[in-house]
Structure 1
């Protein structure tokens, strides 16, 4: 699942659209399939396998629930507690954290292609570089020293492992290098730079705080912790200046970093804050707040894209929930009903 709430850890030992989110555009007018212009909402579900699903919202606003089952009525289930989703040029890869597998579909038609189920243990996030996928795994949630990458050859879906020896969570690619966030609920205080050409760790960048989100923009890696925001120069792999304080230690903590049109967006509890990418101090007044009755699912998914802010509320993780779409000025545009436990947005 996207975020292992304490209750789940106890139970399981845990135009529209990094996590959170991914974006690839079809620049031609020719349709590549029924799902080539819109956003996928990943609904992680709960321990009941039939509650995991994918909702699609087209650029025209049409909503289709449970896309995978609609297109593939005879295919095996995707698994429980869907964690995240990532793409290559033609395929989408859907990670089930509890089933320890990835379901591969055509990203434009959503037709089932394959299931990958080897060399995973609590997989989290993935990225594709030069024909291979790299997926982070927690293994044992109580320690970070056993975390590893699953490397998938996408020509035949064979797999192998590379030890990380550090907390391994969110992952992105930039200029042929892979950046892995070493942070999970206050554990881990760095970012790992992995070189896929040598299949090895190149360096580790210390932060001084535990990260929970990061995003690259114009050669800078912005890394968010519950109280701090740091900027890493990717040409030198060093932290630039002093991290900005973004939330008080007594607050719910900052998370859900997104960067859009040279603005940084992040959340604290049910509030969204925004500031310029070159700001030296964080705002004190939120851009917007929303109402949530969810005990564990407030701001469970978040993204900013094309002048809109998207918020997913986890609800009660037993029944279908909603996402909320706002303008970047803070005006609610419309809510959209989705599945159980929506946790992420993925642009197609």
Structure 2
């Protein structure tokens, strides 16, 4: 893996399903019926990052009821051509459309659901896009690194996108290497992963309102069931001088001024790819590292020290929780040149099953 190059990791419950409808290619006896995949309810999209600097990122579909992967590469199956995504970073569903963010390809592929047919590509002006969140059916925000984080990260930005025309209408300068974002109380909260800050943008004016100090290397955030916002700081490992490493942390605050923050530290740093996720009722948080998943309640007095589940192979790459039944989905990436897999666990941490998918499964989208 390349921990400081632009690749890879809120998310809305989205479901997607398998392959059913058939299209006839006419009456020519030489033609055959070709199955046209469709995305149906009670399914999961698996976001497969692909090999860094190779356009082989993809999206797989898992049918929950059938307990099987019904399409290893749904875009290829639906469109007859590859996604051509160099680092498939994330995907967001807005209404009847899906927005697939291809980080190193500087584009967002737009598909219609349930057919998963491509209906457009957003490319103009995008620079290393990471995550997209929708403020409405017509407006979205996209975090962008702008420049690679190695060797020296520069200021990032958030672009405002008109979803009616799929065009960028405005850019907002934020901190270095912005990652995941969250909308709450008319504000957009942006994690700046190469700093220890969260940028707060007023969504009525699209102007930066303030910048909050949190733990080092924040990259993900979530709301709890009381409306408080929690930010995971991954911490930083200094390999040349371990004494300069910083610890991982959780910071929480009400998403309204004066943004009084409380920060608590883990025992050590959590790794560059650590992420924070929550269950459907938002009363349980899950923290992913590369070797373990921890679970805690927002009401807990102390941060967890015992993992909810572990993998000694240090290959945990993606994590999300099915909001309907609290099934835990863990993406596993043994390498970035061969297919990965995902494992499903019960809410008690017992493995249910697993399935092979694309390279580097970094996220799960439920519909």
Asked if Structure 1 and Structure 2 have the same fold, meaning a TM-score greater than 0.5 normalized by the shorter chain, the answer is yes
8 Å contact from structure 2 (residues 321, 327) kept in 1: yes
Identify which of 239, 258, 266 aligns with 1:246: 266
> What is aligned with 1:6?
2
Q: Give the Cα–Cα distance (whole angstroms) in 2 for the partners of residues 212 and 159 of structure 1.
A: 23
Taking a change above 3 Å as real, the CA distance of residues 211 and 239 of structure 1, as seen in their structure-2 partners, is farther
| Corresponding position: 1:152 with 2:174 | no
- Corresponding residue to 2:363 among 322, 339, 344: 344
Bigger shift: residues 99-108 or 135-144: 135-144
Structure 1 residues 21 and 102, CA, compared in 2 at 3 Å: closer, same or farther? same
**Corresponding residue SS for 2:164:** coil
- Asked whether 1:307 is paired with 2:316, we answer no
1:237 CA displacement? 4.9
Which of 23, 37, 40 is 2:42 aligned to?
Answer: 37
- Structure number with greater CO (CA < 8 Å, separation at least 6) is 1
- Structure 2 unaligned spans of 5+: 22-37, 235-247
**Structure 1 residues 252 and 199, CA gap change in structure 2 (3 angstroms):** closer
Give 1:252 shift.
4.8
Structure 1's consecutive aligned runs of 4 or more residues displaced over 6 angstroms after TM superposition are none
Q: 2:232 aligns with which of 224, 236, 244?
A: 224
For the 8 Å contact 1:91–1:106, the answer to whether it is kept is yes
Contact kept in structure 2, 1:22 and 1:345, CA below 8 Å = no
Taking the aligned partners of 1:106 and 1:254, their CA distance within structure 2 comes to 30
1:35, distance to aligned residue in structure 2 (A)? 2.8
**1:263 CA displacement:** 1.3
Residues in 2 aligned to 1:202 and 1:103: alpha-carbon distance in whole angstroms: 31
What do residues 84-113 of structure 1 show as CA deviations (whole Å, max 9, x unaligned)? 111211111001111101100013221111
Q: How many residue pairs are counted as aligned between the two chains?
A: 321
**Distance in 2 (alpha carbons) for counterparts of 1:264 and 1:165:** 27
Call closer, same or farther: CA 1:253–1:141 in 2, change over 3 Å.
Answer: closer
RMSD: 2.4
Query: What CA deviation, in whole Å up to 9, does each residue of 1:45-87 have, x standing for no partner?
Result: 12332x221110122123121001111115x634221111112
Deviation at 1:240, TM superposition (A): 3.8
Cα distance between partner residues in 1 of 2:39 and 2:111 = 13
**Structure with greater Cα Rg:** 2
How many Å separate the matches in 2 of 1:278 and 1:233?
14
Q: Distance in 2 between matches of 1:136 and 1:284?
A: 32
Calculate the TM-score normalised by the size of structure 2: 0.81
1:108 & 1:161 partners in 2: Cα distance? 30
State the TM-score, normalizing by the size of structure 1: 0.85
Q: Which residue of structure 2 aligns with residue 256 of structure 1?
A: 275
Q: Does the 8 A contact of 2:286 with 2:294 survive in 1?
A: yes
Match of 1:67 in 2: 74
Tell me: CA distance 1:268–1:239, structure 2 relative to 1, closer, same or farther (3 Å).
farther
Q: Cα gap change, 1:239/1:268 in structure 2, threshold over 3 Å: closer, same or farther?
A: farther
User: 1:95, 1:101 within 8 Å by CA — same for their partners in 2?
Assistant: yes
Q: Is the Cα contact below 8 Å between 2:79 and 2:118 reproduced in 1?
A: yes
Give the SS at the match of 1:188: coil
CA shift in 2, pair 1:156/1:73, >3 Å: same
Distance 2:39 2:288 in 1: 33
Q: Helix, strand or coil for the counterpart of 2:316?
A: coil
Q: Are 2:97 and 1:91 equivalent residues in the alignment?
A: yes
Residues 1:247 and 1:214: Cα distance change in structure 2 (over 3 Å): farther
Deviation at 1:329, TM superposition (A): 1.0
2:188 to 174, 178, 200: 178
